Amino acid sequence: MDITYSKREDYYYPDLTLPPQTIGDIGRFGRMRKKYLKEHQPDTFALMLMENILMQHLIDIDHQANEQIDLITSQLARAEGVTEELKARDQLGWIQAMNSNRARAEETVIREIVLK
């Protein structure tokens, strides 16, 4: 990498620019991943920050976690027989079952994706 310099008054200053930053919403699971990296893997966190890949990593983790939660929730619902018929017949029971499935899916995703 060649560094160029610009003269300002009597001094030469390097012409340094930062690469463009990734902009996006890191979401709930991205924030959890950031906290985990900061507290438990500070070297990895610092390296990703210096290489300008941290934000994209956090966005990817959040996206992946949300997709997995949706997939696992639907699989659990199908396995337990939580259907639209149950929703029409017993709405509160359906809500309770779906909330339980979602909570179990979130626990799994947090353990396997966010805290890995």
List, run by run, the mean pLDDT of 10-residue segments along the chain (116 residues): 87 86 91 97 95 95 97 96 94 96 97 94
Q: What pLDDT shows up at residue 113?
A: 95
In a domain, 8, yes or no: no
Instruction: Give the residue among 110, 8, 7, 12 at the shortest CA–CA distance from 64.
Output: 110
- How far is residue 45's CA from residue 112's CA, in Å, rounded to a whole number? 18
In a domain, 20, yes or no: no
Residue 99: domain span:
26-114
In a domain, 98, yes or no: yes
In a domain, 54, yes or no: yes
Q: What pLDDT shows up at residue 2?
A: 82
pTM for this model (two decimals):
0.80
In a domain, 16, yes or no: no
How many domains does the chain fold into? Answer: 1
Max CA distance (Å), the chain: 82
